[in-house]
Amino acid sequence: LPEDVLVELFSLVPARELICNCRLVCVLWRDVINLATVWKRKCQREGFNHEKWDKTIQDWKIFYFLCSLKKNLLKNPCAEESFQFWNLKPNEGDKWKVEDLPGHHGRDFPSPQVRKYFVTSYGKCLKSQLINLKEEGYWDQLMDEIRPDIMVKDWYAARFDCGCCYELSVQLLSADYIVLHEFRPEPVVIEQWSDAEWREISYTFHNYKAGVRHILFKHGGQDTQFWAGWYGCRVTNSSITIEP
């Protein structure tokens, strides 16, 4: 078959089949599958990031895989499954709780798809997730040579009638859990009688060291009035994504 026909046919084949099976058939198939046009065509077919067509893409195959893998690496970010997947430590005062939006003396979340949030108490409440990048499909060579941007987002709010403290830390870890990079902003203190609006915090890791294999996400806080119950900071809709 002519090369342009093979390109069109291969653009219809699942990517892992192309890499693991089709490339092994013969030299011609291997060379065609290695062409940027195959992977650009697959990106076009699957609608990956049309706004970036004018951007210079150095490797269309890597770009395709990053687009196809892109998802929120944090599980249960909006409390729909109670505390599943989260490690609650420390969990002090009256401990973590899940509440429905908008909650007492609270505000609706900007997105109607978010219906619940986690709320802290008068003692320090932190929760964390450890992400294994290889289990999520990101192979070692990709993380060491391409080092795609890692974007972190989190949302937090206070009750109108009580002040609170919010804190966040995100660590990029090696295979043996050595900290290679860390984002740890100063804790945010929201005074009593605030507007109770939801606030977003975001950060992107660029040009980090080779060897990143895990991501540790941790956030939480407590109230500032030391009231029994759940008057501390509220968090929901957290996300970690690896960008094409």
| CATH number where 14 lies | 1.20.1280.50
- One domain for residues 50 and 123: no
CA angle at residue 82 from 81 to 86, to 5 degrees? 95
Same structural domain, 113 and 174: yes
The answer to whether residues 182 and 227 belong to one domain is: yes
Q: Which residue has the higher pLDDT, 203 or 29?
A: 203
Residue 75 lies in a domain: no
Is residue 80 one of the residues assigned to a domain? no
Q: What is the DSSP letter of 88?
A: E
Residue 78 maps to a domain: no
| Joined tokens for residue 118 | 């986690």
Residues 115 and 167 in one domain: yes
Look at 36-45, 104-113, 115-124, 206-215 and tell me which has the smallest mean pLDDT.
36-45
Residue 226 reports pLDDT greater than 80: yes
Give CB contacts under 8 A, 24+ apart, made by 64-68: 64/15, 64/39, 65/15, 65/142, 66/142, 66/146, 66/148, 66/242, 66/243, 66/244, 67/43, 67/244, 68/15
Kindly calculate the radius of gyration of the chain based on its CA atoms and give it in whole angstroms: 22
Per-residue pLDDT for 53 more than 60? no
74 has a pLDDT exceeding 70: yes
Domain of 201: which CATH number? 2.60.120.260
SS3 state of residue 183: strand
pLDDT, average across residues 173-197: 97
User: Does residue 79 fall inside a structural domain?
Assistant: no
Statement to judge: residues 43 and 106 lie in one domain: no
With respect to residue 28, please indicate whether it lies within any of the assigned structural domains.
Answer: yes
Do 36 and 155 belong together in one domain? no
Q: Does residue 81 fall inside a structural domain?
A: no
Residue with tokens 């900007």: 110
| Interval 205-219 mean pLDDT | 97
Judgement on whether residues 106 and 47 belong to the same structural domain of the protein: no
**Domain check: are 63 and 93 in the same one?**
no
40 shares its domain with 110: no
Report the alpha-carbon distance of residue 113 to residue 103 in Å, rounded: 16
Q: Does the structure show a pLDDT above 70 at 220?
A: yes
For residues 229 and 119, the answer to whether their CB atoms sit within 8 Å is: no
Q: Please give the pLDDT value at position 4.
A: 87
Give me the pLDDT at residue 106, please: 96
What the block records as the tokens of 113 is 């798809």
Q: Which residue has the tokens 């040579």?
A: 145
Q: How many CB atoms lie within 10 A of CB 124?
A: 17
User: Is residue 76 pLDDT above 80, yes or no?
Assistant: yes
Mean pLDDT of 200-205: 98
Question: What domain range is 10 assigned to?
Answer: 3-68
Residue at 216 is within a domain: yes
More confident residue, 174 or 37: 174
**The token pair that represents 85 in the structure block:** 């997947």
Q: Which of 40, 68, 96 is the last residue of a domain?
A: 68
Same domain flag for 43 and 143: no
Q: Tell me if 92 sits within 8 A of 123, measured CB to CB.
A: yes
Classify burial at 113, counting beta carbons within 10 Å of its beta carbon; exposed 0-12, middle 13-18, buried 19 or more.
exposed
How much is the average pLDDT of 21-32? 90
Place of tokens 């860390």: 182
Average confidence (pLDDT) over 52-60: 70
The answer to whether position 132 is within a domain reads yes
pLDDT for 121 equals 97
Q: What's the structural domain count of the chain?
A: 2
100 and 162 fall within a common domain: yes
b (16+ CB within 10 A) / e for 73-109: bbeebbbeeebeebeeeebebbebbbbebebeebbeb
Are both 34 and 121 inside the same structural domain?
no
Q: Quick one: pLDDT band at residue 50, thresholds 50, 70, 90?
A: low
pLDDT at 128 over 70: yes
Mean pLDDT of the chain: 93
